[in-house]
Each structure stands twice: as C-alpha cells, then as structure tokens.
Structure 1
C-alpha cells in the first residue's frame, strides 16, 4: 500500500512541476483600458469548434507566417461564445498586421477592429495550450467583480511564443 502511495505522490509531483513549467499557475494581468485599431488579415470560419476546417484555418496562419507572406502575430476574432451557443462558433482566424496596405495572400481578407473602445484586457505568459482558458476566465472574472457587461466580441492574439492577449469590449 505504501508503494502505491509513493507512486501516486511521485506522479502528482511530476504533474505539478510540468503544469508550473507550462505557466499554469501564472495569473493573467487584467486591466480596463482603451483599445487601439487593429488590422486582421485572415479568413472567416463558422461551424463547430471540432470542424476540421477550423484546424486548417489555424494551420494556414502558421504557413503564412513561416513563408513570410505577411508580417504580424496570430490573431482571432470571435463573434460569439461557443460555451453559450452549443459548440457553434463564428470567427475570423488570421494575423494582426501593422497596417491595412499589406498585400494579402490568396483567400485572405482584411478586417479592421476599431479602436477607441473601452475593453477589458488580459495578458498572460503560459503555454499556448493553457492561454485561452486562462485569459477568458480572467476577463470574465474581472467583469463580474467590477459589474461590467461585456459584448460578445473577443479579439485574441499571440505576440510572442507563450504569450497571449485578449480584449473584450465593455457594453455601453
């Protein structure tokens, strides 16, 4: 029985160390701020989060950045919350680019996210596997604590490896 306890305890320690290494215990920084205008080049997606086409859209972003067809950071715009809409998502998956004059790769269009809006912004450093859940939870917790109503419009981007940012506009 002692042997089993030591094995389970050892396994738990390894998991905790790995989770810490991935940034699992790092708390996001959350602020209420004013958004800046962003240009996102990419492609729309509508369907299930399990849809293969969504994965292909993310893969295309990676290819466009690797081929240096665009300079920027991976970014996504979500127009609804899939947790509330039964696994159906409306999104625009692409790359934040510095300005609107860039020549876009075939199949890509440009969307402008207007600046000057009050947003709840969360930033965190962690593994990309953990970032979305951490960022969204931090924004929703902050909004609840501050009694803010949020729009169903989410802009997330990843300016560096293992760093993510999420902005959600406050309803006026």
Structure 2
C-alpha cells in the first residue's frame, strides 16, 4: 500500500514539474534598460481596490470579451500605478487593451484612453511563457535588474499579454 502511494506521489510530482516546465516556469525574463520611442495607447477602465476582488475580475473579463468579439481590436494589457506584487490589497490599475492609436476605433461605453508616454526610461522585461507564470518571472527580473544596477523604480508598470509571442512588462525608472 505504501508503494502505491509513493508511486502516485512521484507521478504527481513529475506531472506538476512537466506542466510547470511547459508553461515556461523554468525560463528567466530578459530585461533591458530602454527609452520608450513612441507612446503606447490603452483603452480601458480604472480600478482601485483589492486585486483579487470580483470587480477587478469583471473588468478583466470585459476587456477579454471585447477583444475576442472584435468590438475592440488590441492586446490585453494593464497599467499599474503602484507595485503589482505588493498591491494585492490596494491595486491602482487601468485595465483594458493596448491599441494601435486613439482614433481608429470607437470606445465602448465607460471606456477611456490612457497613454504610456514616449521618452520614458524603462526596464523592459519579456518572456515566452504562459500568463500563469509570466508576471512573477517578469517582476522578479525587473526588480533584480534594478537592484543590480542601482536603479529606482517609479512604481508605474505596463503589462502586455498578447495571444502569441512574449509577455512583456515596462517598468518606469526614476
């Protein structure tokens, strides 16, 4: 009986390890110090409150539905105005989609534009991984790079979650 539990436990551990590997959990984020060359436009809604709240989830689902239905063409993205890692109880975030411009598409009711300005010094982190593991890897990479290079972060973060390609974060440097 103990051997069966041991074999099942080992099988479960191996399966979890393979799943984590397949999601990109063993990859490290590539981080570079850059200056944004052009503005990044977003359309969405502002949220302030617990990141695990139903309202935040509803805003995320609404942006996803607008994108998948074709009512708004863009890439899912968030603009955090405080550290997302520390903001689980008090997130300040603009939830929505990254757009090509601010004039070619009408906005859904309640949606507004925001701009992540050009000319900002940022740490640009990217990783080819699932959105399930990417944020932790990206933010760890950004903070490690900032610490190693004596850079101070301004606590403004732009997240981009495309359907294909690398997941990205831009963190503004003071």
**Structure 1 residue 127 displacement after superposition:** 1.4
| Separation in structure 1 between the aligned mates of residue 149 and residue 121 of structure 2, nearest angstrom | 14
| Separation in structure 1 between the aligned mates of residue 134 and residue 166 of structure 2, nearest angstrom | 8
| Separation in structure 2 between the aligned mates of residue 81 and residue 150 of structure 1, nearest angstrom | 9
**Structure 1 residue 83 displacement after superposition:** 4.5
**Structure 1 residue 87 displacement after superposition:** 1.2
Q: Which residue of 1 aligns with 2:120?
A: 117
* 1:18/1:83 CA distance change after superposition, 3 Å: closer
**Structure 1 residue 51 displacement after superposition:** 1.5
Q: Which residue of 1 aligns with 2:21?
A: 20
**Structure 1 residue 66 displacement after superposition:** 1.6
Contact 2:49–2:90 at 8 Å: present in 1 too? yes
TM-score, normalisation: structure 2: 0.91
Q: Which residue of 2 aligns with 1:33?
A: 34
SS of the residue 1:141 aligns to: helix
Deviations 1:59-117 (A, max 9, x none): 11011112212211001000012544561111100111001113111110001110111
| Matched pairs, number | 171
Contact 2:29–2:138 at 8 Å: present in 1 too? yes
TM-score, normalisation: structure 1: 0.92
Q: Determine whether 1:145 maps to 2:160.
A: no
* 1:162/1:7 CA distance change after superposition, 3 Å: farther
**Structure 1 residue 3 displacement after superposition:** 4.3
Q: Which residue of 1 aligns with 2:9?
A: 8
Q: Which residue of 1 aligns with 2:91?
A: 89
Deviations 1:142-166 (A, max 9, x none): 1111111010101001123473100
Q: Which residue of 1 aligns with 2:47?
A: 45
| Separation in structure 1 between the aligned mates of residue 124 and residue 141 of structure 2, nearest angstrom | 9
Q: Which residue of 1 aligns with 2:68?
A: 66
Q: Which residue of 1 aligns with 2:133?
A: 130
SS of the residue 1:92 aligns to: strand
